[in-house]
Structure formats: C-alpha cells, structure tokens
Amino acid sequence: MGENVDTTQAPRKIGPPQLRISRLFESKQLGWIALAIALLVPFVIATPYALNVMTTAAIFVLLASGLNIVVGYCGLLDLGYIAFMAVGTYTAGIIAKSFELPLIFTIPAVLVMTILAGLIIGAPTLRLRSDYLAIVTLGFGEITRITANNLTITGGPSGIFGIPGLLKIGDFDLQQPAVFYYVTVLVVAGFVLAAARLGKSRLGRAWRFVREDEDAAEAMGIHTYHVKLLAYIFGAIWGGFGGILFAAHLSAVSPQSFIFLQSALVLMAVVLGGMGNMRGVVIGALVISLLPEFLRDLAAYRYLAFGLLLVVVMVFRPQGFWPARGYEPERMQAPAAPAAAAGEKGANR
Amino acid sequence: MTAILEVKDLQIAFGGVRAVDGLTFSAQEKEIIAVIGPNGAGKTSAFNCITGFYKPTSGSVVLNGRNITGKRPADIAAAGVSRTFQNLRLFPDLTVLDNVRAGMHLYGGQNWADAIFHTPRFKRSETAYTEEAHHWLDFVGYEGARGVPIRNLSYGRQKQVEIARALARKAGLLLLDEPAAGLNYSEKQQLLGLCRRIRDLGTAIVLIAHDMGLVMELSERIVVMNFGREIAEGTPAEVKANPAVIEAYLGKDDEEVQTNGDA
C-alpha cells in the first residue's frame, strides 16, 4: 500500500505546475489565439510602416522556428543559419527575375537548392560536435555571403533589384502590403505548426534523443547521422521559405542582408524564447524583431538599450522565456486496479 | 536450441593494451549468461565490441547466423541486440515515457509527412507507442510518475526505465551492463524475477555483474574474464570450483570455503 501512496503523490510533487496561468499557456488553443491576434492587428494599426515591421517580424518568426529544429530539437549549434535564407532568397530572386516569373513558381527550385545546401553543410560537418560544429557553420555562413558578394549572377555587392511579386492575377496582387502581410502570417503559421508537430513525432523524439545522448540513441537503433542530416534539411527548407518571403517583401536582395549578425539574431531569438519549445521561440523571435522598433525613441541609444535588455533577460531567465518542459499527461484512463496490480497484469500479458 | 549470439576469438587493443584478448562464447535462445571478472577485466569493452561502439581488432560476432562484426551500433541494434549501459545513459530532460519510446524507434509506423499533417496513421502509431511504453514500464514493475522528466527520479527507478527502454527494442538478445549495481537487497530480488520473465519472452540475456549471489542464482552459464582473457566458462557450480577463477578473485593460497561463503 505504501508504494501506491507514493505513486499518486509523486506527480504532484515533481509534476507540472498547477497554476492557472501556466495551464492557459499549455492549452492547445493558444496557437489559434496567437494566429487570431496576428490577423486582427492590421485592424488596429495599418500604417505602411507598421505593416512593414510586422511582416518582417513574421518572416523572422519563420526563421527562428526553422533554427529551432536544428538547435532546439537536435542540439546542433548553427551559427550560419542565415545562409539557408540567402540560398532561398537568391534562388527565388534570380529565377523570378530572369524568367519574369511570379515568385510563387520558384518554390520547387528553392526547395531543391535549400535541400542541397542542407546536405552540403550537413554531410561533412555532422561528425563534429558542439564548438567545432559552430565554427564550421559560422564559416559556411560567411562563405555564402562572400560568394554572393563576388558572383555576377547574384549581382555582386549591389545585389538584385526589381524581383517580381509573389503572384498577380488580374487586379488581385499578393504584393499589396496588407494582403502580403496576411499571406506571410498564414504561411509562417503553417510552418510554425508543422515544426511544432514535427517536434512531437517519432522524428522529433529521435532529434531529442540525439541531443541528449548520441550513443544511447545509436544503441536504440537510431541512425544519428541520418537524423541529424534531416534536422539540417528541415532547417534549410524553413530558411529557404523565409528567403522567398524576404525576396517578395523587399523585391530586392543584397549580400548585406546576410551578415553574421543576422544569424546571431535568429539564434538569439531561439535561446531567448526557450530552446526546443516552439511557442517560446515564436515569442523570442517577436521580441528580437519588434523590440528595437519600440525602442526607436531612444535614437542612437536604441541598440544599447536592446543589448542591455537582452542581458537582463538572460541573467534572470537563463533558460529563456518559455523553455521546453519535459512533461506529458500520465496514463489516459486510470487503471482499474492499483498500480502494483497493473504491473502484475503487464507481467503476465 | 539455436545460438543467438556467437562471439569468436574477439580482440580489441587500445595502443598496447589488449582490453579484450581472445573472448569466445555463445548464447542460446532463452539463456541467461553472466560475464564476471575483476575490475578492468574487459567485460564492458567486450560489450562495446559486440554492440559496435568499439571496432574489434580481430575476431567475429555472429548474431542469428549473420556476421555483425564492426557494424555501426544502430545497425547492430536493428539486427536484434539491445543493451543497457554501466552508468545510466538515459535522456535526462525527456519524460519517462519518451525514454521508453526511444527503444521503439525502429517500429516506424509514421513518417515526417504523417507528423506534419496529423494523419490517422500518425495518431494510430502515437497511441500504439504510448500504450507500448506503458506496457514495458508495467513489465519492469515501474510504479512512479511517467510524464515527468527522468532527471528527477531516483536511481533505482532510472535503472528500471533503462531496462524498459532496452526491452521496448524487442531484440532477441539483451545485454545488461551491471544491472545490479547500486541496488538494495529487495531491488536485486526484483531484478532476479524480472530477468527470468524477460527470458520467458524468448530473449537471451548476457549480463555483467559483480554480485556473486545474484550471478550464481540467476545464470545458466558463466563466462569469467581476467586481463582481457577468458579464464573459465561453465555452469555456476563448475565455475565456482575452477581454481583459475578462485585465483583471479581471491588470490592464490585461499581456501575454497571462502568462495562458498561468497556465494
């Protein structure tokens, strides 16, 4: 009997917090609420400036959710993530401009190119761990930018201008700022949902096993090499789609958009939000992309204040705003017999 | 009875040190074999060679007639070998259930597209994974919370979960590296019963242990190692009477009475 008492009390002692607010945060509807808010914001404020900022923020959320697959789920520290976005943006921009195609038709090409990029960076580096991997990915990011800076096809330092819009049918143009904002939010929401769902699947668990203990994962029959490569490829695809939206949003692209600071900012969004938890990462990305806009009044001191705030947050919440919590519901229906008897039943099965 | 595992003349050297030097043994279906020996005898190195974590310098490991020598650990696991580790190698930040689900990775049943679109196939397979995880936790007699990170649990419970994870792999051969280490008397008795129930599933068990009482009671055959070499093999009674074993464990000049006392 003593052990049965232990069984019922254990979850209460070390189980998930029972506060009402955290139950709200864990609720399944939260994603829909967030999407509704994102869709309603233009009714409150719809100045061209606000729409521009919000669209940029949405694209940034997409990037952060992609990097969360690589860093948060799989634990591969990638300091050159923006390179995947660069590959996506340039592929989309070059094809759309030279064939006068709406950007939407460049999706297959972008998919192919980003997967290739994921394989090229992934395959040779996956035997490396932590610090070494970070250095190589940092190099990959810089190589991509410098290559774009020096090739003729990418337009050199001045980049590519006049990239066609996403899609235009008759009078209906997806490029109108408000329309484009909605398109972006919906696309980004889809990708964030997909990334969150991937995280809760067999593949997502395999990523976490690799992050926690590579050898133990191998011993369970998980091909760590294969699984890590998949993390890179998914991360690259998310980055590539971010690139298409980016190209459509600015209708121009230059190597200056893909400096190391951008990779660092995306990584910061993931760390600040809470590695491995998609909800946290979305919030982290929104903070990183919107906070500098709210601090505009500080003029020259803007980034000083931004940096200080980040330091303060990391001091008080080193695990991020909303870290991944390793809790899940206990057994769905309580077994009819006490736990000990259930154990016997299982044994005899 | 057919041999599940045949290890022949297994050798591994690290520089000049021959950690395992000519180990030969086999395991039959439904058999419990203990590998014993003093610290540093090469028991864990032998396990690591069998499961692919070390590449043997020479010799062969044959599983169900298939040569698996020097393959990747994941391939060997897929071929039908499951193991636990000497120092727990669980996934500390993940839940108990997730840890057990790790053993089920090879069941498949869903791919990434199923996961993204939450197809019925995905839901079915997730339900099956969860039920199966509960089943194996019940099987090992685990009675704690199951939805909490494993880092918070006691050592004994973590050991149970590691065995549940290895069992979920449903391999024909289970390698347990010191399953009894750090367990108290009643936990050891539970382990004894558990090993027998695992054997009744049709699984062969090879285990490393230091507790002679447990080894003598549980195993059908014992392989004794010292300095990388196999110094004896046989039934518990044979091994107990073997002068080379007595020498390895107790030094020369000791009386047999003491081995009896140890057992």
- Interface confidence, given as ipTM, is 0.90
**Residues 188-207, chain A, touching B (beta carbon < 8 A):** 194, 197-198, 200-206
**Whether the Cβ atoms of residue A117 and residue A83 lie closer than 8 Å to each other:** yes
For residue A4, tell me if it sits in a domain: no
Burial of B145 (0-12, 13-18, 19+ CB in 10 A): buried
pLDDT score of B89 more than 50: yes
Beta bridge mates, B6: B26, B62
Q: Nearest Cβ partner of A326 from B74, B142, B149?
A: B149
- Min distance B116 CA to chain A CA atoms (Å): 5
Rounded CA separation A81/A70 (Å): 9
| Contacts of residue A147, Cβ cutoff 8 Å, sequence gap at least 6 | A154
The confidence score (pLDDT) of residue B56 equals 93
A11, part of any domain? no
Residue B125 and residue B181 in contact, taking contact as beta carbons nearer than 8 Å: no
CB contact B71 to A (< 8 Å): no
What are the beta bridge partners of residue B28?
B3
Domain interval for residue A199: 31-348
Q: Is residue B238 part of a domain?
A: yes
pLDDT at A19: 61
d(CA A326, CA A331): 15
d(CA A236, CA A244): 12
Write the CA distances from B31 to A182, B187, B235, integer angstroms. 65, 22, 12
Q: In this structure, are B144 and B192 located in the same domain? A: no
Which domain CATH number covers A57? 1.10.3470
Does B116 map to a domain? yes
Domain final position from B142, B170, B198: B170
In this structure, are B104 and B118 located in the same domain?
A: yes
Residue ending a domain, among B141, B170, B199, is B170
User: In which element (H, E) is residue B189 found?
Assistant: helix B185-200
Q: Is B257 helix (H, G, I), strand (E, B) or coil?
A: helix
A82 in a domain, yes or no? Answer: yes
Give the SS3 label for residue B77: helix
User: Are B61 and B179 contained in the same domain?
Assistant: yes
Nearest to A287 by CA among A246, A324, A260, A320: A320
Letter string b/e over residues A293-311, b meaning 16 or more CB atoms within 10 A of that residue's CB: eebeeeeeebeeebeeebe
Structural contact between residues B97 and B131, judged by C-beta atoms closer than 8 angstroms: no
> What is the reported pLDDT for A332?
61
Q: What is the Cα–Cα distance from B205 to B207, expressed in whole angstroms?
A: 6
Distances in whole angstroms, Cα of residue A50 to Cα of each of A142, A283, A290, B41: 31, 18, 10, 70
Does residue B198 lie within any of the structural domains? yes
Whether residue B166 is found in the same domain as residue B96: yes
CB contact under 8 Å between A218 and B89, yes or no, is no
- Cα dihedral across residues B201, B206, B210, B213: positive or negative: positive
Q: Are B36 and B66 part of one and the same domain? A: yes
Interatomic CA distance for residues B173 and B30, integer angstroms: 9
If one counts the domains in chain A, the total is 1
The answer to whether residue A327 neighbours chain B at the CB level (below 8 Å) is: yes
Residue B85 lies in a domain: no
Residue B67 sits in the same domain as residue B111: no
Q: Which residues does chain A have within 8 Å of residue B94's beta carbon, measured at their own beta carbons?
A: 205, 208-209, 212, 326
The neighbouring-strand residues paired with B76 are: none
Same domain, B196 and B225: yes
The answer to whether residues B74 and B181 belong to one domain is: yes
In a domain, A91, yes or no: yes
Residue A177 CA, chain-centre distance (Å), reads: 24
Co-location of B46 and B60 in the same domain: yes
Calculated CA dihedral for residues A179, A185, A187, A193, nearest 10 degrees: -160
The amino acid sitting at A348 is N
**Two structure tokens written together for A41:** 């914001």
User: Using 50, 70 and 90 to split pLDDT, how confident is the model at B141?
Assistant: very high
A208–B77 CB contact, under 8 Å: no
Total number of domains in chain B: 2
| Confidence at residue A321, expressed as pLDDT on a 0 to 100 scale | 84
- Is the same domain home to B180 and B163? no
At A102, give phi and psi (nearest 5°): -60, 145
Please name the residues between 221 and 260 in chain A that touch chain B, using a CB distance below 8 Å.
Answer: 221-224, 230, 234
Last residue of a domain, one of B144, B170, B196: B170
Per-position pLDDT tens, chain A of length 349: 344 444 444 444 445 555 666 666 677 788 899 999 999 999 998 899 999 999 999 999 999 999 999 999 999 999 999 999 999 999 999 999 999 989 999 999 999 999 999 999 888 887 887 788 889 999 999 999 999 999 999 988 999 998 988 888 877 888 888 999 999 999 999 999 999 999 999 999 999 999 999 999 999 999 999 999 999 999 999 999 999 999 999 999 999 999 999 999 999 999 999 898 999 999 999 999 999 888 888 878 888 888 888 888 888 888 888 888 778 888 765 444 444 434 443 333 3
User: Residue A14 falls within a domain, yes or no?
Assistant: no
Strand partners, B226: B229
Contact A340 B143 (CB under 8 A): yes
Nearest CA in chain B to A16: B148
Q: Do residues B70 and B119 share a domain?
A: no
Burial of A27 per CB tally in 10 Å (0-12, 13-18, 19+): exposed
Q: Which residues of A touch B73 (CB under 8 A)?
A: 215, 218-219
Tell me which residue has tokens 């009402």.
Answer: A20
- Give the CATH number for residue B57: 3.40.50.300
B123 and B74 together in one domain: no
Domain hosting B94: range is 90-170
Residues in chain A: 349
Partners of A246 in the β-ladder: none
Only one residue has tokens 């309603």, namely A40
Q: Which two tokens stand for residue B53?
A: 């974590």
Q: Residue A6 and residue B143: Cβ atoms within 8 Å?
A: yes
- What is the pLDDT at residue A300? 83
